[in-house]
């Protein structure tokens, strides 16, 4: 592979600016490209920093800085004395990455997952727009509860593109013992790498009050999450109702 050359950075108007992307960012982009292409599968080790430096014809320090950023973004995981691996959602520090709910005592709750149903249907127009597919395309709808200390805390409706999740059934979900995102990457090759959320306060209607075992009109937190895989492709629309009477929604701002 030829040496990496600096790439111009586009300004907001779409025109090339006279600045250049830092070299380590270019190496990060090349590693991301390899991940997207499936060169290294979730859970597999990637080549050493020295090997990658030789491959890309840059210094080991440049590669290390690129890997540091990918590790900070939970795309790679460093294991002392073993090397660097493609992160999976089975990793303890990764599996609750998108669940920002914390108990009042500050501890991330260990949630029990209870599947309500799993069905295949035609995508309603709003779901199709979010998932960048056509209205009427096949989608999978999962409805489930997250339960802490025998008390329902989150009611999720999860919409997935049917083309990517052929063969996903309630039975298959019930048989898989790990986190749901771990199943998605291990059995369907779909890895969630980032998400966008919209949050608002709502009052429980009759249906959601029944599922969450709260009085109708109870204040709930509505969290709509759109998750993306490599290439910024949307692959999951999740609409969750959170009962926060004993939990709070935690986020870190940098």
What pLDDT score was predicted for residue 227? 93
Gap between the Cα atoms of 160 and 162, Å rounded: 6
pTM of the predicted structure, to 2 decimals: 0.74
Strands (E), the chain: 8-10, 16-20, 76-79, 83-86, 101-103, 112-122, 138-148, 151-161, 194-203, 219-229, 233-242, 247-249
Would you kindly state where each structural domain of the chain is located, as residue ranges? 8-86, 97-249
Element (H, E) at 127: helix 125-130
What pLDDT score was predicted for residue 109? 63
Let me know if the fold of 8-86 is the same as that of 97-249. no
Q: Which residue has the higher pLDDT, 162 or 80?
A: 162
Q: Is the pLDDT of residue 185 over 50?
A: yes
Q: To the nearest whole number, what is the mean pLDDT of the chain?
A: 85
Quote the Cα angle for 205-210-216, to 5°: 40
Largest CA distance in the chain: 65
Per the CB < 8 A criterion, the answer to whether 122 and 137 are in contact is yes
- List the one residue out of 100, 121, 98 whose CA is nearest residue 194: 98
Gap between the Cα atoms of 17 and 11, Å rounded: 6
Per the CB < 8 A criterion, the answer to whether 30 and 56 are in contact is yes
Q: How much is the average pLDDT of 231-253?
A: 88
User: Per-residue pLDDT tens for 14-30?
Assistant: 444 445 778 999 999 89
Q: What is the DSSP letter of 95?
A: H
What pLDDT score was predicted for residue 140? 97
Q: How confident is the model at residue 66 (pLDDT cuts 50, 70, 90)?
A: very high
Q: How much is the average pLDDT of 94-108?
A: 66
Q: Is the pLDDT of residue 13 over 80?
A: no
- Give the count of beta carbons closer than 10 Å to the beta carbon of residue 177: 7
**Residues contacting residue 129 through CB under 8 Å, at least 6 positions apart:** none
Which residues are paired to 151 by β-bridges?
A: 148
Q: Which CATH architecture has domain 8-86?
A: Orthogonal Bundle (1.10)
Q: Residue holding tokens 């509860």?
A: 145
Least confident of 93-102, 121-130, 146-155, 206-215: 93-102
Gap between the Cα atoms of 194 and 172, Å rounded: 25
Q: Which CATH superfamily is domain 97-249 in?
A: Chorismate lyase-like (3.40.1410.10)
User: Per-residue pLDDT tens for 42-62?
Assistant: 888 999 999 999 999 999 999
Q: How confident is the model at residue 92 (pLDDT cuts 50, 70, 90)?
A: very low
- Give the count of beta carbons closer than 10 Å to the beta carbon of residue 201: 9
Q: What is the CA radius of gyration of the chain?
A: 21
The torsion defined by the Cα of 161, 164, 169 and 173, in degrees rounded to 10, comes to: -100
């Amino acid at each position: 592979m030829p040496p990496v050359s600096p790439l111009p950075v586009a300004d907001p108007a779409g025109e090339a600016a006279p600045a250049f992307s830092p070299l380590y960012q270019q190496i990060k982009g090349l590693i991301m490209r390899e991940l997207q292409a499936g060169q290294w599968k979730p859970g597999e080790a990637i080549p050493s920093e020295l090997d990658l430096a030789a491959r890309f014809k840059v210094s080991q320090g440049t590669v290390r800085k690129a890997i540091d950023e990918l590790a900070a973004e939970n795309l790679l995981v460093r294991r002392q004395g073993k090397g660097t691996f493609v992160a999976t959602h089975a990793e303890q520090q990764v599996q609750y990455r998108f669940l920002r709910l914390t108990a009042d005592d500050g501890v991330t709750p260990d949630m029990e997952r209870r599947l309500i149903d799993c069905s295949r249907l035609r995508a309603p127009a709003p779901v199709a727009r979010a998932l960048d597919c056509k209205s009427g395309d096949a989608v999978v709808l999962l409805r489930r509860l997250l339960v802490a200390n025998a008390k329902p805390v989150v009611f999720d409706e999860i919409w997935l593109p049917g083309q990517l999740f052929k063969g996903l059934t309630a039975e298959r979900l019930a048989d898989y013992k790990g986190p749901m995102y771990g199943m998605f990457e291990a059995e369907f090759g779909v890895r969630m790498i980032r998400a966008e959320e919209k949050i608002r306060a709502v009052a429980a209607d009759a249906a959601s009050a029944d599922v969450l075992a709260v009085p109708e009109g109870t204040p709930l937190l509505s969290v709509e999450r759109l998750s993306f895989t490599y290439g910024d492709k949307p692959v999951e629309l999740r609409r969750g109702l959170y009962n926060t009477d004993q939990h709070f929604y935690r986020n870190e701002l940098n």
